[in-house]
Amino acid sequence: MNTAPVLAYQNVGKRFGRTTALHGVSLEVAPGEVFGLLGPNGAGKTTLIRIGLDIVRADEGSVRLFGAPLSRAGLDRVSYLPEERGLYKKTKVRSMLAYLGELKGLGRRAARERAEAWLARVGLSHVATQNVETLSKGMSQKVQLAGALMTDPELVVLDEPFSGLDPINVELVKALIAERRAARRTTILSTHLMNQVEALCDRVGVVHRGALVVYGTLDDVRRRHAPRAARLRLQHGTLPDPLPPSLAAHIEAVSPDGIFQQLRLAPDSEAPAVLRALVDAGLPVAGFDERLATMEEIFLASVGASKDALAAAPAEAAQ
């Protein structure tokens, strides 16, 4: 199995006039994964995507696509759904999709057949012969998504694919992304919906002010940014107050949380050591969860404390 990165940025930098859009960004997207590219508005995500698709060239660094320098042949294996997107209003829906398919290298007949199939797939067969201008925003979004996925590209970049969709269609998009992962097709997902990132992504990268400030697998990142807390449930009773010295060395504070108790861990304690100390103390432990950071917390922490985050960026990016 080929495990070479599908897309790899190495120390990429880009300036627009006096504005630094990106500096020193290095990241890799692995085959078959769903990679979450996150960051606040204006952080540099779109520029990073455009550089990866050869729409804009980097001032510094290099980009490799499918293990080779950027080329038109490589880009034919990639599809893109930009955040700011649209279609020709006066064109028939089926013709529009077929055109997008042909531009990606499908033959005329194949493009037409795929367009039909994908319209059925997203539940829009009934508007195939209508002009794009007659579609609602949600329908138009689905046509564009179909346009990005109809060639079954090896890599697809979806920038805010959920915007404008109702909950039913959000589920449809999630299912399509999950199908791609099952088929070992790679997806780069850029979204502000952190719950979708947690549900869909294997790895994430957070860009802030042109730098990569968070990067890694979803689990690692959530663990790394965990608030050093755990949730405890005893079969009966609560933790003694004050804590015995064997527990006080690991637990800084305890607070009630319904049938649970929230534990704030000491700076040098790890969750497994705390659990072991609780059991050794003879307490009837019925449940113990290490609390991981949510992506929303990670995102806010990363872009909120910008100075610290930027300072930590090279170290994190290197991991």
Nearer Cβ to other proteins (87/251): 87
Residue 7 C-beta: closest distance to other proteins, Å: 13
Note whether 84 binds other proteins by CB under 8 A.
Answer: yes
Note whether 68 binds other proteins by CB under 8 A.
Answer: no
Choose the binding region for other proteins from 144-152, 243-251, 286-294, 310-318 (rule: CB under 8 A).
144-152
Q: What are phi and psi of 182, to 5 degrees?
A: -60, -30
Choose the binding region for other proteins from 99-107, 162-170, 245-253, 310-318 (rule: CB under 8 A).
99-107
Interatomic CA distance for residues 205 and 34, integer angstroms: 11
- Cα–Cα distance list, 277 to 58, 149, 219, 264, 288 (Å): 53, 52, 25, 14, 12
Q: Report which residue type is found at 201.
A: C
Note whether 102 binds other proteins by CB under 8 A.
Answer: yes
Note whether 72 binds other proteins by CB under 8 A.
Answer: yes
- Cα–Cα distance list, 83 to 46, 48, 144 (Å): 8, 13, 11
Choose the binding region for other proteins from 19-27, 73-81, 182-190, 242-250 (rule: CB under 8 A).
73-81
Q: Report which residue type is found at 189.
A: L
- Cα–Cα distance list, 115 to 35, 90, 109, 181 (Å): 27, 17, 10, 22
Residue 93's closest CA among 118, 128, 124?
128
How much of the chain is helix, strand and coil, in % rounded to 5? 40, 30, 35
Q: Figure out which of the listed residues 7, 25, 48, 81 binds other proteins, where binding follows CB under 8 A.
A: 81
Nearer Cβ to other proteins (67/107): 107
Note whether 9 binds other proteins by CB under 8 A.
Answer: no
Note whether 89 binds other proteins by CB under 8 A.
Answer: yes
* Residues within the interface to other proteins (CB under 8 A): 17, 50, 53, 55-57, 59, 72, 75-76, 78-82, 84-91, 99-100, 102-105, 144, 147-148
